[in-house]
Amino acid sequence: MSSYQAFELDELQADRSRSYAEFLRRPGISMGIYHLPVGGQDPQHPHSADEVYVVLAGRGTLEVEGERIDVQRGSVVSVDVGADHRFVDVTEDLSVLVVFAPPDTPEG
């Protein structure tokens, strides 16, 4: 295995064949791109890993344990392991870089 991997965000964002597409998995971290269309329903559940969202495009609201955070391109939000969370009120198609540490297996 190479000691590095390189990716292009434009290419990663272009693949919308799945709502979540993991592109990197290492023992301590995994990364993927999550797509959610306007009005889409986010089926997430609490995860067994800490998680960071980096919004690459779009606009919506991330609800975490009942608190609502407006997000848009450039927003970065950390969600603690086990916290109930989901995107709601998506008003522009969302494209989000998702980082799990350590890796988790999100559904959806």
CA distances from 13 to 3, 10, 28, 102 (A): 24, 5, 23, 23
Res. 1: pLDDT tops 90: no
- Of all residues in the chain, the percent with pLDDT exceeding 90 is 81
How far is it, in rounded angstroms, from Cα 108 to Cα 102?
19
CB-facing half-sphere around the CA of 89: CA atoms within 13 A: 9
How far is it, in rounded angstroms, from Cα 98 to Cα 20?
9
Res. 107: pLDDT tops 80: no
Does domain 9-101 fall under CATH 3.40.1260.10? My reply is: no
Q: Where are the domains of the chain?
A: 9-101
Q: What is the mean pLDDT of residues 66-94?
A: 97
